[in-house]
């Protein structure tokens, strides 16, 4: 980008510091870094060009829980302090809720629910979102032991040979005849929510 070497090194050092690393890390080899450090380096690499928008595709999936929290806190701090927009893609809805203002839930490539993150997490409307939220483990071991998990029955519909109707129909506990023949539209509901379900 036409940046002089001295300025480039200063910028790298700055962003390493912002993500919790230091200048000594600049001379290390990739195999010398932990998974969490590698993720921080990835964030610094993305931030060095000063973007307004970052796609975070499963940024914490291969990390242990304590490191996941550190990376999430780092992303949230950068989002707040720099006014960044993050598109955070993950399977763990509790982590998505923590870092997101709005949440969109997809099933086989189709949106099934969209809305403010806390509302979608604490008051899910679509049956698939409800099952996803229920599958999140409870932090309290005593409560977790008492939980009864609902399983998602049925076969996953082929994403290649998509037929008419709701893509979740074969697995939905609230399925109706209409669901098997008519694809639900993503419709607005109160409180800035959108749901693709014939129940609404």
In a domain, 153, yes or no: yes
In a domain, 11, yes or no: no
Domain of 185 in residue numbering reads as 123-200
Write out the two tokens for 154: 């049925």
What pTM value is reported for the model? Answer: 0.81
Beta strand pairing call for 110-116 and 85-89: unpaired
In a domain, 49, yes or no: no
In a domain, 63, yes or no: no
- CA distances 111 to 28, 85, 107, 108, 152, Å, are 42, 20, 7, 9, 18
In a domain, 176, yes or no: yes
Average confidence score pLDDT of the chain: 88
In a domain, 171, yes or no: yes
* pLDDT tens profile 111-153: 999 999 999 999 999 999 999 998 877 666 666 666 666 667 7
In a domain, 104, yes or no: no
Task: Say yes or no to pLDDT of 53 above 70.
Answer: yes
In a domain, 2, yes or no: no
What local confidence, expressed as pLDDT, does residue 135 receive? 81
Q: Span 32-37, mean pLDDT?
A: 92
Number of domains in the chain: 1
């Amino acid at each position: 980008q036409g940046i002089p070497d001295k300025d480039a090194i200063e910028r790298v050092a700055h962003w390493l510091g912002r993500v919790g690393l230091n200048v000594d890390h600049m001379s290390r080899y990739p195999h010398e870094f932990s998974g969490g450090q590698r993720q921080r380096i990835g964030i610094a690499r993305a931030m060095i060009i000063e973007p307004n928008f970052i796609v975070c595709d499963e940024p914490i999936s291969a990390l242990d829980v304590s490191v996941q929290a550190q990376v999430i806190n780092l992303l949230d701090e950068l989002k707040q302090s720099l006014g960044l927009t993050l598109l955070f893609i993950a399977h763990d809805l509790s982590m998505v809720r923590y870092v997101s203002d709005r949440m969109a839930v997809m099933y086989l490539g189709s949106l099934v629910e969209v809305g403010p993150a806390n509302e979608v997490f604490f008051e899910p409307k679509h049956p698939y979102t409800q099952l996803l939220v229920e599958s999140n483990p409870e932090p309290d071991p005593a409560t977790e032991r008492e939980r009864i998990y609902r399983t998602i029955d049925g076969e996953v519909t082929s994403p290649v040979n998509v037929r008419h109707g709701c893509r979740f129909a074969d697995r939905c506990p609230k399925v109706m005849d209409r669901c098997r023949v008519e694809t639900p539209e993503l419709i607005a509901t109160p409180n800035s929510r959108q749901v693709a379900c014939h129940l609404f």
